[in-house]
Chains A and B, each alone.
Chain A
Amino acid sequence: DIQMTQSPSAMSASVGDRVTMTCRASQDISNYLAWFQQKPGKVPKRLIYGASSLQSGVPSRFSGSGSGTEFTLTISSLQPEDFATYYCLQHNSYPLTFGGGTKVEIK
């Protein structure tokens, strides 16, 4: 199984901050990686697919990068509505696996 390790598991940041989080795969997954945002009590929402393609309707302050085993999700200027938990998912091979999540909290 491919293990997906997200770091940090939690972070505190202020509105306007540039925020970066990482997802590492235990094996090469090419660009078969998606990022999701989940707010408390809500359904996860896909932000990024193919490691770097922005989902339609998602603000351009979100960006994804990486390939192979290391991936990054960046929020260029954190907004109040961005406080949430972020998950990565690899769908290169079965079983599909999620990272443990990064919770972005208000500083």
Chain B
Amino acid sequence: QITLKESGPTLVKPTQTLTLTCTFSGFSLSTSGGGVGWLRQPPGKALEWLALIYWNDENHHSPSLKSRLTITKDTSKNQVVLTMSNMDPVDTATYYCVHIGTTMATNFDYWGQGTLVTVSS
């Protein structure tokens, strides 16, 4: 069974860098296929895709946030880390990590519980 869980600070100050960790089980990023993605959802607003990384380190980022985002993986720990620099109050949102599978049937099929990050001084 696949599970994912986000962890990180719940409160960050403006201009600080946010570091979120997705710890997962039930699949591996050390073998071919699959990956982990990050999404976010500001309170009362729609979902927004941020970034994803595949087993072979191929990664993609939202163009509007690309200069601020870094996504990496630690295969030995079954973790994917997202960092977002220069945080602003508009970045206040629930951040989710999701499983990216090798087929259409297994893309976005499992989600973490989400973690609410508030940006405030």
Contact = CB atoms under 8 A, between A and B. Distances in A.
Query: Number of contact residues on A: which range applies?
Result: 20 to 34
Contacts of B52: 96
Contacts of A34: 107-108
Nearest to B111: A43
B108 to A, nearest CB: 6
A44 B105 contact: no
A93 B63 CA distance: 13
A59 interface: no
A44 B107 contact: no
A96 B65 CA distance: 13
Contacts of A53: 104-105
Query: Number of contact residues on B: which range applies?
Result: 20 to 34
Interface in A7-64: 31-32, 34, 36, 38, 43-44, 46, 49-50, 53, 55
B107 A91 contact: yes
Given A43-B96, A44-B47, A100-B46, A94 B60 contact: yes
Given A44-B111, A98-B47, 19 more contacts: A1-B63, A34-B107, A43-B113, A50-B105, A55-B109, A87-B46, A89-B49, A91-B107, A94-B60, A95-B49, A95-B61, A95-B63, A96-B37, A96-B49, A96-B52, A97-B49, A98-B46, A99-B46, A101-B46
